A and B are shown apart, each in its own frame.
Chain A
Amino acid sequence: MLEDQPIDCFIGNNINRVEDDKLLNGKGQFGSDTPFKPNALHAVVLRSEHASGKIKRIDFSKAKKLKGVHSVITGKDFSKISNPLLSVIRTEFKTWCCAVDEVHYVGEPIAIILATSRYIGEDALQLIDVEYSVNQPVISIKEAINTKTKFVHKKNYKSNVVSDRNFEYGKPNKFFTKSHKIVEIEIEYPRNSCTPLEGFVVHSEYDKASRIYDVKSNFQGPFSLHSVLSRALKVEEGKLRLISFEDSGGSFGIKQAIMPMIILTCLASKLSNKQVIWVEDRLEHLTAASSATGRLTKLRASINEKGLIEALDYDQIDDVGAYPRAPEPASLYRMHGNLSGAYKVKNIRCRNRVVLTNKTPSGLNRGFGGPQHYFALERLVHQIAVELNLNVLDVIKVNLLEKKQFPYKSPSGALLDSGDFQKLVKKVVKSSTYKNILKKKNNAIKNGKIYGIGYSAIIEPSISNMGYVTTALPYKDRERTGHKGGALASTSVSIGPTGSVYVTCDSLPQGQGHKTILSQIVADVFGIKINDVFVNTNHDTHKDAWSIAAGNYSSRFAGAVAGSAFNAANNLKKKLKKIAASQLNCKSENILFDKEKIYDKKNSDNYLNFKRLVGIPHWSPGNLPEKLNPSLKETVFWGNEKLRPPNEKDEINGSLAYGFVFDVCGIEIDPITSKLKIDEYVTGHDAGKIINPLLANGQIYGAYAHAVGASLLEEFKYNDNGSFLSGSFQDYHLPSTYEVNEPEIIHIETPSPFTPLGSKGLGEGNCMSTPVAIANAFSDALKIKNVKLPLTNTKVHQYLNLNKNEKKPKHINEKINFKNYPINGIGEFELNIDQNELWKKIFDFKNLKTIIPGCKSLKEITKNNLNGIIQLSIGPVKGEYSFNVSIKKIKQNKSFEISGNGHGELGNGTGIAKIEIINKNKKSFLVYSYGAKVDGKIMIVGNRLINSSVKLLVNQIFQSFTLNKSSDETFLKKLLKLFGIKI
């Protein structure tokens, strides 16, 4: 009758999230809901408007006079009482959290204003005047590698490459010298992020008496960064106490990057002797929080005639932004152990370089290194099929590892724990979605539609080895600094006197459902109700067990943390069995826990209630059998010896568990609207034992939605000037239900032999597999090799029109070079008025003032040098700008040049224009070309508007000159308001 398993088993079943009632009813306690002291000060960050430059002068005088402003703290002030950030890669320059003298990316903190309210702080911010001497920034990876003159950190460096390592596994040279065929692919993966709902929030307080920094924040780990933080703050470990907020509005990794702001608010608290509060806004988050790395990869494969990959040759370059902030260059090394992906290839050569650019430093982001890595590998597999004229599915099948090979040691050191790739591929291929995709492609070809199919087969690593990032260092450096490898997960389970069970863990949930999963597991072990388990995930470094691996990242929860909870509960169960055996007068191996009762397996009438049993150690601790310790608290630190430091051959088992994801998608492209539609998508997963399919599928849907965003819409854009162009959701587009179709999800379960429950992570897989599946489908649809994400409508349009030449104006002087002006254009008009009249019109500066709407004043200071003030607006954005322009190289009735600059609270701009009057075939033309660059807030949030408006506007102005009638003032007025920083 009674089995040794509880009858109502929660593990493996769809259990509703226990967290949701509170969250969906608006009762969540997020960072901004958390109370702070009434006399706390609010921090506002002054940020750099320029990507590269020297701070010449900062004028705080007006800001400091504002009532309610406590103080303004600069980078220099901070540097005096702190250490620079430690980084994995040693650099000659110092990584400060707040710029000292020089700025290196748009959004870099320059100073912190402390005020009695955020409102006052923001008022003060608008009163600060910063003067820079601006340098030309390094923006693209290619530029960073190739330049001989532009360096992100000029003072101390002669190169932008901060790490350059070569690896060789097996005998790649042997194959590349005499291969049947070599297939090559070059990819560029864009910078993007997973943009959680909630931004960073931190409450820091320095206690003068105990000298302890008390920090409440939404930092999520990894707690290896605790050492980086305490060292920067110049305190011993225990004097930095990190506490998490009650609830989290999501992270997807990026909240790791709150680290610098923890430091700055702590130091600000020490200096002000008050609690300091900082809440990030969306503009700050998109501009300066963090980003996934951008990557440039050249990948070559030596293949045989069947498409079997014999050897791979990677050349990978990661763009980590202006500082290689810890844990970078982890993005580049997380996948190092599984460079061979899901495939049999034994021979690999790899060159890894880390470059600096004048962009926001990169950091954790869902998929971390996986999207970049598989984009190259899976595009290559697709290309192999194209070049050998084989079916992609056949090429994948030929290369996939076989079931009998597990556990499989990859050439670069990953120990792939378990898998049955063929089984999952078979199941996906049998799905109705896959059959639909094939059918639709056939129909599309018949009907002249554009349809493509894309595949991807990837390994999804989870439970990171904390030592993998040290693979970035040469072996002798690792020898010197001490080898690092392994990862621990910890959970505490305790039982109260009347049967409530308490669980705490070292993972800080960001919305995944930790409370549900831990309740399920612990309730199963003790045979009790889920409601009797109380999970508290508020982590506190002064109260909870933690190791450097603690935190919420690398999909470590299901495999490692939940596993440690299972072990902790089972350890307690062993003790309870002994107590129960003495009470029931039976052998402890015959004790069974089920339905809140503890039975003698042999006689089900012989039982105790769970509540009664657990009360015994509380009420009569001296009365336990075998002199058992009465403690009903068990803390388990679980780890696995398979995670070792990288060895002398640079082999690294970067993760403990490796899932498998196999995706197929069908996309359709509308040739008229250039819209790419994901028509059908099937995603197959093997993540070992699934604890809760409902939550597992929730993770897959979420990762899929993120991946669709990354594939079609999302990119952190910078222009050549270094201006950040994606500062609001107007310019950084997120996918909505309209873009995200529902994929068919298929599971198989091949348990991991290395985790307590056999579970592996599955929350990041689609971030790795989906972008490249979509890109492969796009490549298939348009028969093109170079596919660059995101595939926005504009980009799809460009791809569709690759071979069509754009119409160019006829009379343009092609020699004009506006390289340093990201906003530029050319145009021409046939003159309807006399050339002399035109000339007079242009050089009549009094008239010019009336032509430029919003122009409040215009004065000729010296000959052909003008100063003025202009009032401008873009939608609700209004501002006053002072500007000066000079007119040069005047050739009467022939040509002239205008150059100028403007300065206002929302931004600065400079511009140049060349105007020529050309006579051809008895007709006269006004020909113009112009370039402008704009910096500051206005560009970060309004670049799309500005770019298109400037083009329209300039066109309109010149047209107004050429017409012999009064121009349409209202239209011109509207347009000119959008422009104005130039002229």
Chain B
Amino acid sequence: MKPCNFKYIKSSSINEVLDVLDIHGEKAQILAGGQSLISMLNMRIANPEIIIDINFLKDVISLENKDNTIENWSFI
């Protein structure tokens, strides 16, 4: 890995992610699984100023049983 210099934000809530995206727009990039983003960063094809890591976002790593239906978020 040899990406450009970027600011790393380890997000703690969905609202925080949305705020960062709202303020920085396309300069910010979400890091989820990273399958495509990491190699794009490595090859310097993507050069974001901010990386918002949502891997530790509890809100999106949940699996809930609600009234006999399972509600799961994107990280499951």
Interface of A toward B, CB cutoff 8 Å: 118-119, 122-123, 125-126, 281-283, 728, 730, 871, 873, 875-878, 906, 937-938, 941-942
Distance, CA A388 to CA B37, complexed state (A): 55
Q: Does B44 contact A (CB under 8 A)?
A: yes
Q: Does B69 contact A (CB under 8 A)?
A: no
> A282-B39, A876-B37, A876-B40 given as contacts; is B4 within 8 A of A123 (CB)?
yes
> A119-B2, A122-B2, A123-B4 given as contacts; is B43 within 8 A of A876 (CB)?
no
Distance, CA A877 to CA B48, complexed state (A): 8
New A-B contacts (4) at CB < 8 Å, excluding given A282-B39, A730-B36: A876-B37, A876-B40, A906-B45, A941-B45
Q: Would you mind naming 30 contact pairs between A and B with Cβ atoms under 8 Å apart? A: A119-B2, A119-B5, A123-B4, A125-B44, A126-B44, A126-B47, A281-B2, A281-B42, A281-B43, A282-B42, A283-B43, A728-B39, A728-B43, A730-B36, A871-B26, A875-B36, A875-B40, A875-B46, A876-B36, A876-B37, A876-B40, A876-B45, A877-B40, A878-B26, A878-B46, A878-B48, A906-B45, A937-B43, A937-B45, A938-B45
Distance, CA A941 to CA B41, complexed state (A): 13
User: Does A118 lie within 8 Å of B2, measured CB to CB?
Assistant: yes
Distance, CA A906 to CA B37, complexed state (A): 16
User: Does A282 lie within 8 Å of B2, measured CB to CB?
Assistant: no
CB nearest to B30 among chain A residues: A876
CB nearest to A42 among chain B residues: B2
Distance, CA A942 to CA B36, complexed state (A): 12
Distance, CA A119 to CA B3, complexed state (A): 7
Distance, CA A877 to CA B42, complexed state (A): 12
- Give the shortest distance, in Å, between B52 (CB) and chain A (any CB): 12
**Chain B residues with CB under 8 A of A728:** 39, 43
**Chain B residues with CB under 8 A of A877:** 40, 45-46
- Give the shortest distance, in Å, between B36 (CB) and chain A (any CB): 7
Contact residues on B (Cβ < 8 Å of other chain), bracket: 10 to 19
Interface residues of B in 1-15 (CB under 8 A from A): 2-5
- Give the shortest distance, in Å, between A787 (CB) and chain B (any CB): 33
Distance, CA A125 to CA B2, complexed state (A): 12
**Interface flags, B38-75, vs A, CB<8A=1, else 0:** 01101111111000000000000000000000000000
Distance, CA A882 to CA B1, complexed state (A): 29
Distance, CA A123 to CA B44, complexed state (A): 9
Distance, CA A118 to CA B36, complexed state (A): 21
- Give the shortest distance, in Å, between B34 (CB) and chain A (any CB): 10
User: Does B4 lie within 8 Å of A122, measured CB to CB?
Assistant: yes
- Give the shortest distance, in Å, between A976 (CB) and chain B (any CB): 14
Distance, CA A243 to CA B2, complexed state (A): 26
User: Which of B2, B4, B46 is close to A876, meaning CB atoms less than 8 Å apart?
Assistant: B46
User: Does A878 lie within 8 Å of B47, measured CB to CB?
Assistant: yes
User: Which of A123, A125, A875, A906 is close to B5, meaning CB atoms less than 8 Å apart?
Assistant: A123
- Give the shortest distance, in Å, between A635 (CB) and chain B (any CB): 43
**Chain B residues with CB under 8 A of A119:** 2-3, 5
Closest 6 CB pairs of A and B: A876-B46, A283-B43, A118-B2, A877-B45, A122-B2, A876-B40
**Chain B residues with CB under 8 A of A122:** 2, 4, 44
Question: DSSP class of B's interface residues: helix, strand, loop or mixed?
Answer: loop
Distance, CA A299 to CA B40, complexed state (A): 44
CB nearest to A905 among chain B residues: B47
State the total of A-B contacts with C-beta under 8 angstroms. Answer: 49
Instruction: Name the residue among B5, B45, B47 with the largest chain A CB count within 10 angstroms.
Output: B45
**Chain A residues with CB under 8 A of B46:** 875-878
Distance, CA A751 to CA B48, complexed state (A): 61
> A119-B2, A123-B5 given as contacts; is B39 within 8 A of A876 (CB)?
no
- Give the shortest distance, in Å, between B38 (CB) and chain A (any CB): 10
**Chain A residues with CB under 8 A of B2:** 118-119, 122, 281
**Chain A residues with CB under 8 A of B43:** 281-283, 728, 937, 941
> A122-B4, A282-B39 given as contacts; is B48 within 8 A of A876 (CB)?
yes
User: Does A876 lie within 8 Å of B29, measured CB to CB?
Assistant: yes
- Give the shortest distance, in Å, between A970 (CB) and chain B (any CB): 15
**Chain A residues with CB under 8 A of B4:** 122-123, 126
**Chain B residues with CB under 8 A of A876:** 29, 36-37, 40, 45-46, 48
Distance, CA A878 to CA B5, complexed state (A): 15
**Chain B residues with CB under 8 A of A281:** 2, 42-43
- Give the shortest distance, in Å, between A853 (CB) and chain B (any CB): 12
Distance, CA A282 to CA B36, complexed state (A): 13
CB nearest to A284 among chain B residues: B43
- Give the shortest distance, in Å, between A725 (CB) and chain B (any CB): 15
CB nearest to B43 among chain A residues: A283
User: Which of A125, A283, A873 is close to B26, meaning CB atoms less than 8 Å apart?
Assistant: A873
**Chain A residues with CB under 8 A of B37:** 876
**Chain B residues with CB under 8 A of A283:** 43
CB nearest to B31 among chain A residues: A876
**Chain B residues with CB under 8 A of A906:** 45
- Give the shortest distance, in Å, between B10 (CB) and chain A (any CB): 19
**Chain B residues with CB under 8 A of A878:** 26, 46-48
- Give the shortest distance, in Å, between B59 (CB) and chain A (any CB): 22
CB nearest to B44 among chain A residues: A122
CB nearest to B4 among chain A residues: A123
**Chain A residues with CB under 8 A of B39:** 282, 728
**Chain A residues with CB under 8 A of B29:** 876
**Chain B residues with CB under 8 A of A730:** 36
- Give the shortest distance, in Å, between B30 (CB) and chain A (any CB): 9
Distance, CA A242 to CA B14, complexed state (A): 54
Distance, CA A875 to CA B5, complexed state (A): 19
Distance, CA A360 to CA B10, complexed state (A): 42
Instruction: Name the residue among B2, B40, B42, B47 with the largest chain A CB count within 10 angstroms.
Output: B2
Distance, CA A122 to CA B45, complexed state (A): 11
Instruction: Name the residue among B4, B37, B43 with the largest chain A CB count within 10 angstroms.
Output: B43
**Chain A residues with CB under 8 A of B48:** 876, 878
- Give the shortest distance, in Å, between A869 (CB) and chain B (any CB): 15
**Chain A residues with CB under 8 A of B40:** 875-877
CB nearest to A938 among chain B residues: B45
- Give the shortest distance, in Å, between A47 (CB) and chain B (any CB): 12
Distance, CA A938 to CA B36, complexed state (A): 15
- Give the shortest distance, in Å, between B27 (CB) and chain A (any CB): 8
- Give the shortest distance, in Å, between A341 (CB) and chain B (any CB): 42
Distance, CA A90 to CA B17, complexed state (A): 62
Distance, CA A281 to CA B41, complexed state (A): 12
Distance, CA A118 to CA B42, complexed state (A): 11
Distance, CA A730 to CA B45, complexed state (A): 14
Distance, CA A876 to CA B48, complexed state (A): 8
**Chain B residues with CB under 8 A of A123:** 4-5
- Give the shortest distance, in Å, between A729 (CB) and chain B (any CB): 8
Distance, CA A125 to CA B4, complexed state (A): 11
Distance, CA A122 to CA B5, complexed state (A): 11
Instruction: Name the residue among A123, A877, A906 with the largest chain B CB count within 10 angstroms.
Output: A877
Distance, CA A658 to CA B46, complexed state (A): 49
- Give the shortest distance, in Å, between B28 (CB) and chain A (any CB): 11
**Chain A residues with CB under 8 A of B42:** 281-282
Distance, CA A730 to CA B37, complexed state (A): 12
Distance, CA A941 to CA B4, complexed state (A): 18
**Chain A residues with CB under 8 A of B36:** 730, 875-876
Distance, CA A283 to CA B40, complexed state (A): 10
- Give the shortest distance, in Å, between A596 (CB) and chain B (any CB): 49
- Give the shortest distance, in Å, between A873 (CB) and chain B (any CB): 7
**Chain A residues with CB under 8 A of B44:** 122, 125-126
Distance, CA A878 to CA B44, complexed state (A): 10
CB nearest to B26 among chain A residues: A878
Distance, CA A283 to CA B37, complexed state (A): 14
Distance, CA A118 to CA B3, complexed state (A): 9
**Chain B residues with CB under 8 A of A941:** 43, 45
Distance, CA A126 to CA B3, complexed state (A): 12
- Give the shortest distance, in Å, between A877 (CB) and chain B (any CB): 5
- Give the shortest distance, in Å, between B8 (CB) and chain A (any CB): 14
Distance, CA A964 to CA B36, complexed state (A): 40
Distance, CA A119 to CA B36, complexed state (A): 20
Distance, CA A282 to CA B2, complexed state (A): 12
Distance, CA A878 to CA B49, complexed state (A): 11
